[in-house]
Amino acid sequence: MESDAPEFAKFLNDLSMENKITKDLSEDELIVIHDEVSKDMSEGDLANPKFGSIRRLKEIQCYRGMRHIQRLPCRGQHTKNNCRTLKGKRVSIAGKKKSPR
């Protein structure tokens, strides 16, 4: 938390407020700080548009959305030999005979 202290002091200077303990802040000061913090985007907010667009594709069940649901590549890659990262570890099929070479 100590690394955040200079950044927070800069934030308070931008608002022209003095650095106080939280319990000593007035209601008006809390509202001003809350409004400024809500304007800034946090790390979680930056990730939401990506997941929101994927969720939308899944909901409308378009081709790309269906490929996301099935955890397969959705940008035209072949899946016969590749795409192990999406399909996961190979699973052997019990009782299947190997073809003669």
Domain ranges of the chain: 4-39, 52-87
pLDDT tens digits, residue range 32-43?
Answer: 888 877 776 666
Task: Count CB neighbours of 66 within 10 A.
Answer: 14
Residue pair 58/69 in contact by the 8 Å Cβ criterion: yes
CA separation for the pair 72, 67 (Å, rounded):
5
18-22, 45-49, 65-69, 83-87 — which is least confidently predicted? 45-49
What is the third-level CATH fold of 52-87?
30s ribosomal protein s13; domain 2 (4.10.910)
pTM value surpassing 0.75: no
